[in-house]
A and B are shown apart, each in its own frame.
Chain A
Amino acid sequence: MSEQSALSRDRFFLKADRITKIYSDGTVALKEASLEVRPYEIVGLLGENGAGKTTLTKILSGLLPPTRGRVISPKGPIRFSSPREALDFGIGMVHQHFALVGTFTAAENVALSHDRPFTRVRIAETQQALESLMEESGLRVPLDVPIEKLAVGEQQRVEILKVLSRDVELLILDEPTSVLTPLEVDELFELLRRLREEGKSIILITHKLKEVGSVTDRVVVLRHGEMVGDVKTSEASTEQLASLMVGQALEEEADAVELSTEEIPHKRERKPIDRSGDGVLHVRDLVVNGNTGEIAVDGVSFDVYAGEIFGIAGVEGNGQSELVESLTGLRVPISGTATIHGANILGIDPRQIYRLGVAHIPEDRWELGLVLPFTLAENAILGVHRWEEFRGPLTFLRWGKINRHVRELMDRFDIQATGPNAPARSLSGGNQQKLIVGRELAKDPAIIVASQPTRGLDIGAAHYIRKTLLDMRDKGCAILLVSADLDEVLAHADRVGIMYEGRFMDVCTPDELDRKRVGMLMGGAKSKEGE
C-alpha cells in the first residue's frame, strides 16, 4: 500500500472510463458515464433515484461488470470479478443495507469479512487489530456487544471499520446519511474529513444538496445514467447543482415527447375544480412511524378534491410510503385525522376502506399488489372477492362471473395474457400493472391512491396508465399521485406537495415551480423566498 499512498495529490487513484451498463431486462442504467477519483479527495455523487449512482459504484467495487467501458487504475485497465478482488485492490463499499450478522459482535462480524474458506477465524486477533484501528481513526464502537443491540449509526461505523480494516484506499458510501440522526451525520462527516487527511479517496453517494456542500471537494452529477456535471464544490452554487440534478427545462422535454394535444394533460378541456369544503380526502396533522419506530410522516395536512390530481414529489424514503400505507389501512398512524367524504379511514381494515371508495395502486406490484402464483382471475378479485357480484351463498365464488369480469378487464385495459387462468407471474411488468389498475378502477372509486404507478414500466405501458389516470380525473375522481418521477408529477398534478423528511416543504401548482426550485426543495433546501 505504501506505493499507493506515495501517489501525489494530482494523480488519480481510479478512473471509470465511459461506462455503459445495460441490465439483462434491457434497462439502461448508465450511458458512457465517466468518473475519476484522486487521493486526498471526497467526491460527491449526486443524482435522483434511478440516476445510476449505485450502479456506477457497484461497478467500481466489483459487484457488477460493466456492459461497455473500462475501470482504469494508474497501472492500466482492471477488471474485478468479485467485491473481494476489489477489496484486495483497495476499494471498499459501505452499502445502504448493511451486511452484518445481527447476533454477532462487531469483532466477529469483521472477522467474518476477513474469513476465507477452511481457515481459522481469528476473533481475538481481529479484536486487537480493531482496537488499534479505532485508536487511529477515532471511530469508536463497542466490540463485544451483538450488532442488533447497537444503534443504526453504530452499525454503520462497524461497516466502515470492516472496510477500513482491509486497508482500503477508496471508500464508497451509498447514501450513508439516510439512516442517521443529524448528530451522527456530523460525526460521520468529521470521520470522512480525517480519512481524507490520511490520503484516502472517498465517494459519497447522496441526493441531499446540503451534504454535498458541507463535506465534498468535487461533485459529479448523474442524470438518467449520464454524467451531466463534474464541478468543484467551492465553485458550484446549490441552485446550479439542483438544476443539474433534475434537468434544465421541463418544457423542452415535454415537447420532445410526441403527444397529441389531447394527451398533454394541462391542455385537456376540463371543468374547473371545486375546492370548497373538505375535499374527498381530508388529512390533518398526520404523524406516522416508520418500520424502525422513527417518525416517518411528521404532521402532514392536505385535501384532495374531486376531479383533481394531488401529486406528492420528493426523493424516495422521505415518508411517502408510510403516508400512503396509513391512508390505505396498511399502517396505523400515531396521531392525526384522515377522512373520506367525512368518514374516518385511519386504523381500520383495508377492506372497509375499499368500501368507502378508495382504490389503491400500490408501489410494490410484486409484494403488495399481486399474489404472483395466483392466476389473472384470482388476482383480479383480490380485495373485492367478498363483493356480492362475485360471491354466492356460503361464500362460494362465482367463477363464471369472475372470468367474464376478467375478460372485460383484459379488453378494456389491453392486458396481454393467454387467458383468465394464466398465472400473474407469467405477465410482463406492464401487463401486471394494467391488471392492478384495472382491478382498482373496477371498484368505481371516489379516490385513487396511486403510488409509483409507472415505475419500471416501458414507455407504452407507462403512457397508458397515465392516460387512464387522467381519464379518471376528468370523470370526477380524486387522485393522490405519489411518484419519485418528478416529470410525471409535475406534468400531471394540479397541485404538488414536495416531501422532505416527513413534511411538505411546499404545496403549490406545478406552474409556480421551476425545476431549480423543485430540486432545492427535494434536497431539503428552503427557497430564498421561503426563508
Chain B
Amino acid sequence: MSPNESSEQSRLLRGAHRTLTGLHPALESLLAALVGLLVGAILMYIYGFDPWKAYMGLVKGAFGGSYEIASSLARATPLILTALTFSICLRAGMFNIGAEGQMYMGGIASVVVACFALPTGLHQIAGLLFAAFAGAVWSLVPAFLKLTRGVHEVISTIMFNWIARWLALYLAIYVIVDPMRPEKTLSIPMSARFPVLVRGTDLSYTIFVAIAFALVIYFILWHTAIGYEVRAAGLNPTAARYGGIRNKRTMFLSFVLGGVAAGLAGATIVMGLPPTYAIYGGGGLPQLMNLGFDGMAVAMVGRNHPIGILAAAVFFGGLNAGGRVMQFYGSNPVPLEMVRVVMGAIVLVMSIPELIRLFPMIKKQGGRLIERLRRITRRTERGESA
C-alpha cells in the first residue's frame, strides 16, 4: 500500500471516529435517531398513512409490555455481536464489512454440535467455541491477504460474504441437512440449547453471551495494553509505530476478535432461537440474512463503543420487533419496509456531516431563544414589581 493511500484511509477513519458536532456522542446519536424517525414520518404521511398511529404501534410493539421488550431484546442479541465486529476493526483502523459472512460460518459451525453428545453446559460451550473459531478463521483470511498482499479489506470481506453465503447454503442443504426435514439443518439437541429466558418469547440466555462479550471487548480496548495498542494504531498509525506498536499485529488481533464476535452472533441464532434451533436453507438463510449488515448500522449509532452498541442494538431490535406490530396496527397497516426506511434514514443522517453540523446551530439558536425568553420574563417581573 502506498503511503498516500494509507494516509487517505487514516483520514477517513479519523472522520469516522470524530464526533462531528462537539456534542456528546450519545446525544448526537439520539438526535440522528429522532431525525430518522422524522424522515420516516414524512414518508408515511406522503404515502397516506398516519405517522402518529404508526409510531404508537411501533413503540407499543417494541416496548409495550414484557413480551414486547423480550422480543426486542431477542432481536438485539445478534446485532450486539455483529456491531462489535465492525467496531473493533474500525477502532483498529479498518473497515471490516465481513460480519455477515463470518456470522454465517459461525452459525453453520455451531450446528455441528448436533453431531455428538456432551453434557449440558459443556455442550453449549462447545457450540460457542466452534462458532467463534469458524468466524475467526473466516475473518483471518482477508486480514492475511491484507497484510501479505495488500488486498484492501473492504473488497475482500465483501467477497468473503458471498463465498460464505453460498458455502453455508450448500452445507445447510447437502451436508448437515435434517434427513427428516430437508428444508432445514439438523436441530441443536436439547443439551446444547440456550434456555428461553422469558417464557413464551424467543429471548434466550444468549443475550448474556452478547452482553458479556461486549463488556469483555470494552475491558480489552480501554483497560489493557493490547487494546490500547489497537486504539492507538487505529487513530494514528504513524504515532503508533513511533510508540513501538506493531500495527500488523493489532490489525490481525482486531480481525480475530471481530470474527469471534460475528461467529458468536451466528451461534446465538442457531442455539438460542426457538422453536427450531436450526438453520433454514430454504429461502436463502432467512434467519441470518442481513444481521451482519444491520450490525454496521448499530455500530454507527452506538458510536463504535461497546456500551453505546448495547443501547443502539436495543433500539434497532425494538424497531424490528415493533415494526411487525406496526403492520397490523388498527386501520393503519404500514408496511414493515417502512421500518427499514427509518433505519436507513438514521444511518444516512449520521453519515452526513453537513447535516449534523446543524445541531450545534440549533443548540446555539435555542440557547439564544431561551436567553431572550428569560430576559422578557425578568422584564415583566420587574414591571410587575414596579
Give the most central of B3, B14, B244: most A CB within 10 Å.
B244
Q: How far is the CB of A382 from chain B (nearest CB, A)?
A: 4
- Per-residue 0/1 for B13-35: is the Cβ within 8 Å of any A Cβ (1 yes, 0 no)? 01001100000000000000000
Q: Are B235 and A374 in contact (CB under 8 A)?
A: yes
Contact of A368 among B226, B228, B238, B244 (CB under 8 A): B238
Interface flags, A344-357, vs B, CB<8A=1, else 0: 00000111111000
Q: Contact: A383 with B225, CB < 8 Å?
A: no
In the complex, whether B243 has a CB less than 8 A from a CB of chain A is yes
The verdict on B242 contacting chain A, using a C-beta distance below 8 Å, is yes
- Residues from chain A with a CB closer than 8 A to the CB of B224 are 394-397
Given A351-B244, A383-B244, residue A371 in contact with residue B239 (CB < 8 A) = yes
Residue of A nearest to B242 (CB): A368
Interface residue B100 (Cβ < 8 Å from any Cβ of A) = no
Contact of A98 with B by CB under 8 A = no
> For residues 214 through 236 of chain B, which have their beta carbon under 8 Å from a beta carbon of chain A?
223-226, 228-229, 231-232, 235-236
Chain A residues with Cβ under 8 A from B229's Cβ? Answer: 385
A405 shortest CB reach to chain B, Å: 15
Residues of B within 8 A of A352 (CB): 244
A419 contacts the other chain (CB 8 A): no
Q: State whether A399 and B223 are in contact (beta carbons under 8 Å apart), knowing that A350-B241, A362-B242, A385-B243 are contacts in the complex.
A: yes
Contact A374 B225 (CB under 8 A): no
Find out whether the CB atom of A360 lies under 8 angstroms from the CB atom of B225.
Answer: no
Other-chain contact of A383, B18, B236, B238, B243 (Cβ < 8 Å): B243
Min distance, Cβ A68 to any Cβ of chain B, angstroms: 33
Q: B3's contact among A291, A329, A385, by CB below 8 Å, is which?
A: A291
Q: How far is the CA of A280 from the CA of B218 in the complex (A)?
A: 43
| Complex Cα–Cα for A372 and B234 (A) | 12
Give per-residue flags for B244-271: 1 if the beta carbon is below 8 A from chain A beta carbons, else 0: 1110000000000000000000000000
Given A371-B236, A372-B236, A373-B17, check contact A397 B228 (CB 8 Å).
yes
Interface string of A302-340 (1 = CB under 8 A from B): 000000000000000000000000001110000000000
Q: Is A455 an interface residue (CB 8 A)?
A: no
Return B230 CB to nearest CB of chain A, in Å.
11
- Distance A229 CA – B241 CA, assembled complex (angstroms): 45
A371–B223 CB distance below 8 A: no
In B152-182, the 8 Å CB interface with A consists of none
Nearest B-chain residue to A355, judged by Cβ: B244
Query: Smallest CB–CB gap between A294 and chain B, Å?
Result: 15
With known contacts A383-B244, A395-B225, A367–B3 Cβ distance under 8 A: no
B147: chain A residues within 8 A (beta carbon): none
Complex CA gap A390/B50 in Å reads 59
User: Is A501 positioned at the interface, with any CB of B under 8 Å from its CB?
Assistant: no
B240 at the interface (CB under 8 A from A): yes
In whole angstroms, what is the CA distance A457 to B243 when docked?
23
What are the residues of chain A within 8 A of B226 when measuring CB–CB?
A: 395
Query: Is the beta-carbon distance between B241 and A354 smaller than 8 angstroms?
Result: no
Known: A372-B236, A397-B223. A378 touches B241 (CB 8 A): no
Contact A382 B225 (CB under 8 A): no
A397 touches B235 (CB 8 A): no
Instruction: Kindly provide the distance from the CB of A498 to the nearest chain B CB, expressed in whole angstroms.
Output: 27
CB neighbours of B225 from chain A (8 A): 385-386, 390-391, 395-397
Is A370 located at the chain interface by the 8 A CB criterion? yes
Chain B residues closer than 8 Å to A351, beta-carbon distance: 243-245
Residue of A at shortest CB range from B246? Answer: A349
- Determine whether A69 belongs to the interface, using a CB cutoff of 8 Å to chain B: no
CA distance A383 to B229 in the complex (A): 10
- In the bound complex, how far is the Cα of B243 from the Cα of A350, in angstroms? 7
Interface residue A50 (Cβ < 8 Å from any Cβ of B): no
| Interchain CB contact under 8 A, B238 and A367 | yes
Chain B residues near A291 (CB, 8 Å)?
Answer: 3
CA distance A399 to B229 in the complex (A): 15
- Cβ contacts under 8 Å, A372 to chain B: 235-236
Please report the C-alpha to C-alpha distance between residue A351 and residue B236 in the assembled complex, in whole angstroms: 17
Q: Is the CB of B223 within 8 A of A367?
A: no
- Mark out the residues of chain A between 364 and 409 whose CB falls within 8 Å of any chain B CB in the assembled complex: 367-374, 378, 381-383, 385-386, 390-391, 394-397, 399
User: Given contacts A395-B226, A397-B224, are A371 and B241 in contact (CB under 8 A)?
Assistant: no
How far, in Å, is A112 (CB) from chain B's closest CB? 19
Taking A394-B224, A395-B225 as contacts, is the C-beta distance between A373 and B241 under 8 angstroms?
Answer: no
Which of the listed residues A330, A354, A370, A395 has the most CB atoms from chain B within 10 Å of its own CB?
A395
Q: Are A330 and B244 in contact (CB under 8 A)?
A: no
The answer on a CB contact under 8 Å between A396 and B3 is no
Q: How far is the CB of B60 from chain A (nearest CB, A)?
A: 41
CA distance A149 to B17 in the complex (A): 35
**A371 adjacent to B244 (CB under 8 Å):** no
A213 to B141, CA, bound (A): 60
Rounded to whole Å, the gap between the CB of A321 and the closest CB of chain B is 13
Which residue in chain B gives the minimum CB-CB distance to A102?
B4
Shortest CB distance B204–A (Å): 30
| Contact call A367/B236, Cβ cutoff below 8 A | yes
Q: Nearest chain B CB to A398's CB is how many angstroms away? A: 9
Asked if A330 and B241 sit within 8 Å, CB to CB, the answer is yes
With a CB–CB cut-off of 8 A, which chain B residues contact A329? Answer: 244
Please state if B3 and A349 are interface contacts (CB–CB under 8 Å): no
Contact A382 B243, CB 8 Å, known A368-B238, A371-B235, A373-B235: yes
Q: Which residue on chain B has the smallest CB distance to residue A354? A: B244
In the complex, residue of chain B having the shortest beta-carbon distance to the beta carbon of A382: B243
A370 to B242, CA, bound (A): 9
In the complex, the answer to whether A371 meets B240 with C-beta atoms within 8 Å is yes
Residues of chain B lying within 8 A (CB to CB) of residue A370: 236, 239
28 A-B residue pairs with CB within 8 Å: A330-B241, A350-B241, A350-B243, A351-B243, A351-B244, A351-B245, A353-B244, A360-B242, A367-B238, A368-B242, A369-B242, A370-B239, A373-B14, A373-B17, A373-B235, A374-B231, A374-B235, A378-B228, A382-B232, A383-B244, A385-B243, A395-B224, A395-B225, A395-B226, A396-B223, A396-B225, A397-B225, A397-B228
The 4 lowest CB-CB distance pairs between A and B, nearest first, are: A351-B244, A382-B243, A395-B225, A383-B243
User: A330-B241, A371-B236 are known contacts; what are 8 more A-B pairs with Cβ within 8 Å?
Assistant: A291-B3, A349-B244, A351-B244, A353-B244, A367-B239, A386-B244, A395-B225, A397-B224
Q: Which B residues lie at the A interface, using CB under 8 A?
A: 3, 14, 17-18, 223-226, 228-229, 231-232, 235-236, 238-246
> A residues engaging B (CB < 8 A)?
291, 328-330, 349-354, 360, 362, 367-374, 378, 381-383, 385-386, 390-391, 394-397, 399
